[in-house]
């Protein structure tokens, strides 16, 4: 599962750089000639479809595996909070303008669900193994809180770009948007780094590494999209990592 998770996410990230996008957000109608006959969901419905199964998996784990050590409890709580925040943002924060193709929603939703279930199950199996020589769970908690807070803040800034009923894209401002076009992806990486530090299992690190490659590809494609759409897009604004990438 560690190999499958890493390679599949890394491949999707590489595909994003080559223009083969998962059909959601600003790329929801990419390859529009191929997607005319496909089932379209509203963005809000699609996003709820992405996150709800993983959130329910995290909640269910408290019932299925009631006896846990501190590390397992922290991991379950972090994953449940991560996806609860996502659902809250979909219902309350985000302003949507496009749609989502069901063919893209299904694998993303399944990936979130499977990775959440696998991460928790791997942690459950590792409870009888001796603790790692270097304990990273407390730095992991700090990274997780920084990541989830920074991600929420930049999602909030994005939501303020448009008024109700406004579907036009604009160049984001504020926070780290003056340095990178996808700071919310950067903080999501920090979020998952925190989760992998809390877990300290091979699967958690493999999933996080795959997520980094995917978000690098997606942010690269996003920056390229902004450059093509806005003539005044600042060239010094990077994709994901300030001053570097």
Token pair for residue 207? Answer: 């999933």
Our CA angle for 172, 27, 44, nearest 5°, is: 80
Report the pLDDT value the prediction gives residue 33, as an integer from 0 to 100: 42
**Interval 172-215: pLDDT, tens:** 999 999 999 999 999 999 999 999 999 999 999 999 999 999 99
Beta strands of the chain (E only): which ranges?
40-42, 99-101
Our CA angle for 227, 10, 78, nearest 5°, is: 95
Placement of tokens 């199996």 in the chain: 125
Q: How many residues are listed for the chain in this entry?
A: 245
CA dist., res. 54 & res. 75, Å (int): 13
Under-70 pLDDT residues of the chain:
23-37, 165
Compute the half-sphere exposure of residue 98: CA atoms within 13 Å on the CB side of its CA. 15
CA dist., res. 159 & res. 229, Å (int): 19
Report the pLDDT value the prediction gives residue 89, as an integer from 0 to 100: 97
CA dist., res. 93 & res. 95, Å (int): 7
């Amino acid at each position: 599962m560690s190999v499958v998770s890493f390679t599949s996410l890394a491949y999707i990230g590489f595909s994003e750089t080559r223009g083969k996008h998962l059909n959601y957000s600003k790329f929801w109608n990419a390859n529009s000639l191929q997607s005319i006959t496909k089932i379209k969901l509203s963005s809000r419905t699609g996003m709820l479809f992405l996150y709800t199964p993983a959130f329910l998996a995290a909640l269910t784990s408290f019932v299925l595996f009631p006896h846990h050590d501190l590390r397992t409890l922290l991991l379950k709580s972090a994953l449940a909070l991560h996806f609860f925040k996502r659902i809250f943002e979909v219902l309350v924060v985000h302003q949507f303008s496009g749609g989502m193709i069901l063919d893209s929603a299904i694998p993303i939703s399944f990936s979130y669900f499977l990775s959440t279930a696998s991460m928790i199950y791997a942690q459950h199996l590792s409870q009888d193994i001796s603790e790692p020589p270097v304990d990273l769970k407390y730095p992991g908690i700090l990274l997780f809180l920084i990541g989830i807070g920074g991600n929420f803040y930049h999602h909030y800034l994005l939501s303020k770009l448009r008024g109700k009923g406004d579907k036009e894209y604009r160049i984001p401002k504020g926070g780290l948007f003056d340095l990178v076009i996808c700071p919310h992806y950067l903080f999501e990486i920090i979020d998952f780094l925190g989760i992998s530090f809390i877990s300290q299992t091979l699967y958690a690190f493999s999933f996080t590494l795959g997520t980094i490659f995917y978000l690098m590809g997606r942010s690269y494609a996003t920056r390229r999209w902004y450059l093509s759409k806005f003539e005044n897009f600042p060239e010094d604004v990077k994709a994901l990592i300030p001053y570097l990438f």
